[in-house]
Structure 1
Amino acid sequence: MFSSEFLLKGVAAPFLTAFATILLSSRLFSGRRGMAAAGFAIAQALGAGWLLWGQDVWLPSRNLHWVPWCAVGGALLGPVLVAGGLARFERWLLAAFAALATAALLVPTWPDLWPSRTVSMMSFTAALTVLARGVDGVGRRNPPRLVSLSMAATALVAAMLIAACVSLKLGESALVTAAALAGSAAAVLIRPDETAVRGLALPYALAVGGWCYVCAIELPSPTPPLVALLFVPLAPLMLALVAAGPLANRSLTTRWIAGLLLVAGYLVGVGAWAWTSTETSDDEYGYSMSYNAD
């Protein structure tokens, strides 16, 4: 399905870059510096994956070409969003600003876009803002290992669904993001750090949410949008159920099991919904991330 060259350059490179950078920074820094290092690690990993894979990310010509830029921007801004000294409303405003900038770049200018571009931008901005702040919230109330694993697993499922239901090429593009998040999760498994995980909330929302949005609407007319894909990035928010109610007072092992089951069950359900919503399982649409394409 995926070429060996892509697995080496587009998967292994960002995975190892994020893993090594976060693991090293966790030994050298803590607190706010740790958050900044985590964001830098994701930005570095995404850059390594895209550059080594041979994609010209410097000259985007379509809305979907901006997703890597939004992901890197979110990785650099994410640590600022959860840094100390900011009031709650300031964090929400900063997240909303990043989400609005992402929506302005990713929502297409098609004349037949429905809902209209204005409505789409407003709703997409709101969704990304809530997602970023929600993931940050579960990061404060749940074990760092569990939260990082849920983000990485969700990104991986999103990439696989895009490859299977929309386009193999776009699935490869989304898998670069998943590999970077997986490398971060692997590092957090060894050295758990809540501040580092919270710093990943914004890049996760902009990258995974961005890929799912552009791929959900990229199906050729008259095929309707793949609505199920829009719900995939919400999976980590299922961990809010672990941190609230009767599960909050359970043992760590019980909370781990409950969290894994909730996230896995959600992903299976949404994945089945997406799979049954389309009969396409190959790359027949021929979408490409090539910036020389018409």
Structure 2
Amino acid sequence: MLHKTMVKKFLSLNLFKKLMIMLLIISILPIFLIQFISYKISTSTIEKQTKELIMSNLQQSSNSVEEFFHAYDKIIMDMYTDSSYIDNLKYINVWDSKNYYSAKHQIEEKLENIVYVYPEILGIAIVGLNGDATFYDTVTLSGVESFCFDINHIRTNTMFKDSLNVKHAIYSNTIRKSDMNYGEKSYFYIAHQLTDFNNYENGPVGSIILCIDEKALRNVYSTGMDFNSNLTFLVNQEGDIISFPTESYVGVNLYNGYNKESIEKATKNFLIIIIL
């Protein structure tokens, strides 16, 4: 109805006014088209740059995390090539061996040297086939009492048993433990079987289990992440944000700090959440 009224009004105008209106429209239309095209190009460019920035951010984080885990692969490989672990485990796997305690002590000393070089390792355990464990724990600073490992029940530990049946590393979920004497820590495990290369057909002789401080991964993952428009969060299974590019996110628990709607809204605004 409004359209018809405007057409009638236009037709009722004299020729001069009609020409002026047409010239005005002709002059405005190109400007409008240029502005529209510029807007579309700018929007497309911003969207493309944002996606590239996100991918670059994720790639950088991925490379950092990959290098982080390569360090522990190297530790395991070094232990493989050090025949003293295999030689001492032979005595540990035989309960009545007179060299049992001497062998455990020698392994413990080598483990203590490793954790001294890698402070993010809370503990290392070498577990024999029968569940006899030799370890060094940096939380308790001993090879007698352990914060990381339930030594009395390690022979029934799922990771230990699984590691004896596969030839690759096994990674646990993040675990949080609170102790009256040693405080609260979050950590995860990496387990890998230990095999004598000279007699590999006989299967593994034990298992290596590393206990890694989650803070170390948190520090690696948050490096260089200072963007405000697209944040990559690494979240553990407890809901704690491991990577926090800005200080305002320190200590925030995702599950308690946000509801479903706010998470969905944040995701649409290029917030990418990776759950461990």
Structure number with higher strand proportion: 2
Q: Which has the larger radius of gyration?
A: 2
The question of a shared fold, defined as TM-score above 0.5 by the shorter chain, is answered with no
TM-score normalised to structure 1 length: 0.30
The higher relative CO (CA closer than 8 Å, separation ≥ 6) is in 1
Structure number with higher helix proportion: 1
TM-score normalised to structure 2 length: 0.32
